[in-house]
Amino acid sequence: MSDADRKSTSLDPDNWGDLRAQGHRMLDDMFDNLSTVAERPLWQAPTPDQRARYRAELPRGPGRLEDAHAQFMADVAPYGSGNRHPGFMGWVQGGGTGVGMLAEMLAGGLDANLGGRDHMPIEVERQVALWMAELFGFGPEASGIFLTGTSLANLCAVLVARDRALGADVRHTGVRDVRVVAYASKGVHSCIVRAMDMTGLGWDRLRLIETDANHAISQPALEAAIAADRAQGLKPFLIVGTAGSVDVGAIDDLDGLADIAQREGAAFHVDGALGALGVLAPGVAPRLKGIERADSLALDFHKLAQVPYDAGFLLVRDAAAHKRTFTYSEAAYLRHAERGLAGGEWWPCDFGPDLSRGFRALKVWFSLKTYGLDALGVVISRACDLAAALAARIEASPELELLAPVGLNIVCFGYVGGDNAAIAADLQEAGRVAPSTTTLNGRTAIRAAIVNHRTGLADIEALVESVLALGRARAAAAKTGRG
């Protein structure tokens, strides 16, 4: 193929200088956007006009890059989900960083496929896995893999535990003998429940155990459930501990769960999506004791570690068992070779469900190299300190009530006698501070999850003042309505 032939079909520009100049403008716009994020509303609903512009005809012909960019800046960027804003406290979401953004750009430029084969991006992913193995005391033999999020990491961990319990043959036969049972607290994330059906085991094989006053799993209740199942001839195959529950931030007694799992011959998995990286915060780390005894650990870099979405991670102590669960050596087109590009010892596609995979590891590698683990530990400590400050403000105000103990970075509270769901929605629409809600003991709570590294005391103060103002206004309106 001559150069002229290539030029006529390739998507590369005729003039790289133009693309470069436009690229610099796009990068500058995003830096402007990121550095002024606190000055704009946290969230605003897109207008019907804007939504309509995204029901356009199939674009068969070419358009100008600068036009697409302008449309993005006008219609998309100002109407994001708000998690970068310092007042964002909804759900459990990180705020992203400029370093993460730049690393995403480099990863996009390199366009590496990390399913397998012999190339340096795989070594970067291995490096992060080794760092995590060291950080969590798993040892260098452990395997680690990036996934979209902890939902997928938990699913993969349940699969590894399933195959360990039922034998590798279950991959041939499918799940037939389901006399195995998993245990987790009532506060466990819904993705563990979903993992049970997606692994063919079924919800009936998951016991959701009562929690104690701190919303952590009750070990006496767990012991009783195991005894009852044993009496029925059932076998415990998996105990899931939660390091930071999604609704209130509760941490299970991981050491205690590791003891029980060991005694029962069950696998011990930790859902550390929210709290595992608390090992970096001196105030949290002692409460995570036992995490180093887990057979597998799921965590999210896109939460407290502030890496841009998405960056979930699974660490498995027994790499061979991990590989047995996912590897499939029958496909000729995916054969591993001794040498050449198809060489390489470690193919991520042998350790998870994905074949084609992007370079998620790069933004994590950049974040760890650039900020360092200590700084991430400070971010996590500060999130917990802000949550404690918020709890103290609530307890000092007779109009507000704390609805769950605050052990980590999540505060559940309400306006006494108020409609907490309506107050949360009012706050989101006002665009200054945005908590979400949860249900605790049958009551709707305003839930402030302090995750974003940009959040400060002024945001906590704004949340308290806004809830008080909205609660009072609603109470007054209700009175006049009645009178």
Strands 410-415 and 400-402, bridge-based pairing = antiparallel
What residues numbered 99-158 form the site for ligand PLP, per CB under 6 A?
149-151
Q: Which is nearer to ligand PLP, 9 or 190 (CB)?
A: 190
Does residue 300 bind ligand PLP (CB under 6 A)?
A: yes
Contact pick of 246, 250, 258, 304 for ligand PLP (by CB under 6 A) = 246
Q: Binding to ligand PLP by residue 452, rule CB under 6 A?
A: no
Measured from the CB atom, the residue of 334 and 440 that comes closer to ligand PLP is 440
With respect to ligand PLP, which residue has the nearer C-beta, 30 or 208? 208
426 has which bridge partners?
Answer: none
Q: What is the residue whose two structure tokens read 């991670």?
A: 313
| Residues numbered 173-232 forming contacts with ligand PLP, rule: CB under 6 A | 189, 191
Q: Smallest distance from the beta carbon of 215 to ligand PLP, in angstroms?
A: 12
Q: Least Å distance between CB 480 and ligand PLP?
A: 41
Give the list of residues 6+ apart from residue 354 with CB closer than 8 angstroms, or none: 115, 147, 348
**Bridge partner list, 239:** 183, 268
Q: How far is the CB of 335 from ligand PLP (least distance, A)?
A: 32
Q: CA dist 421 to 13, 42, 438, 466, 467, Å?
A: 51, 18, 9, 14, 11
For ligand PLP, the closer of residues 237 and 313 by Cβ is 313
Asked if 273 is part of the footprint of ligand PLP (rule: CB under 6 A), the reply reads: yes
CA angle 235, 238, 239 (to 5 degrees): 115
Sheet holding 296-300, edge to edge: 143-147, 312-316, 296-300, 267-271, 235-242, 180-185, 206-209
Write the interaction track for ligand PLP spanning residues 312-351; mark x where CB under 6 A is met and - where it is not: x---------------------------------------
**Restricting to residues 382-441, which ones interact with ligand PLP according to CB under 6 A?**
none
Q: Does 271 bind ligand PLP (CB under 6 A)?
A: yes
Angle, helix 360-396 to helix 457-482, in steps of 10 degrees: 50
Name 50's Cβ contacts closer than 8 Å, sequence gap at least 6.
Answer: 75, 79
In this complex, which beta carbon is closest to ligand PLP, that of residue 273 or of residue 460?
Answer: 273
Of the residues 37, 42, 89, 92, which one makes contact with ligand PLP according to CB under 6 A = 92
Residue nearest to ligand PLP (CB): 149
Identity at 346, one-letter amino acid code: W
Question: Does the protein bind ligand PLP through residue 311 (CB under 6 A)?
Answer: no
Q: Which two tokens stand for residue 337?
A: 């070779």
- Per the listing, tokens 């530990």 go with 377
**Alpha helix segments (H runs only) across 10-149:** 16-35, 48-53, 65-71, 98-110, 120-135
- Smallest distance from ligand PLP to CB 304, Å: 10
Q: Distance of CA 124 to CAs 306, 341, 373, 436, Å?
A: 19, 17, 17, 36
Tell me which residue of 403, 407, 468, 402 sits closest to 439, measured CA to CA: 403
Residue from the set 170, 274, 368, 451 that interacts with ligand PLP by CB under 6 A: 274
Residue closer to ligand PLP (CB basis): 266 or 297: 297
From residue 444, give the alpha-carbon distance in Å to each of 344, 388, 400, 407, 437: 52, 21, 14, 19, 7
Give the residue with the Cβ less far from ligand PLP, 246 or 412: 246
Q: Does 247 bind ligand PLP (CB under 6 A)?
A: no
Nearer to ligand PLP, 149 or 348 (CB): 149
Least Å distance between CB 302 and ligand PLP?
Answer: 7
| Number of residues forming the site for ligand PLP (CB under 6 A) | 15
- Cα(319)–Cα(309) distance, integer angstroms: 26
Residue 116 or 278: the one with the smaller Cβ distance to ligand PLP is 278
**Taking contact as CB under 6 A, which single stretch among the options 203-211, 267-275, 382-390, 392-400 is the one that binds ligand PLP?**
267-275
Q: Is 296 in the site for ligand PLP (CB under 6 A)?
A: no
- Closer residue to ligand PLP in complex, CB, 273/464: 273
| Angle in degrees, 0-180, between the axes of helices 457-482 and 420-430, rounded to the nearest 10 | 120
| DSSP structure class, residue 211 | B
When the beta carbons of 103 and 240 are compared against ligand PLP, the nearer one is 240
Residue closer to ligand PLP, measured from CB, 183 or 415: 183
Q: Shortest Cβ distance from residue 22 to ligand PLP (Å)?
A: 33
For 88, residues 6+ apart whose C-beta sits below 8 A from its C-beta are 42, 82, 95, 433, 434, 452, 455
Amino acid at 137: G
User: Applying CB under 6 A, which part among 198-206, 241-249, 279-287, 329-337 lies near ligand PLP?
Assistant: 241-249
Contacts to ligand PLP by CB under 6 A: 92, 149-151, 189, 191, 242, 244-246, 271, 273-274, 300, 312
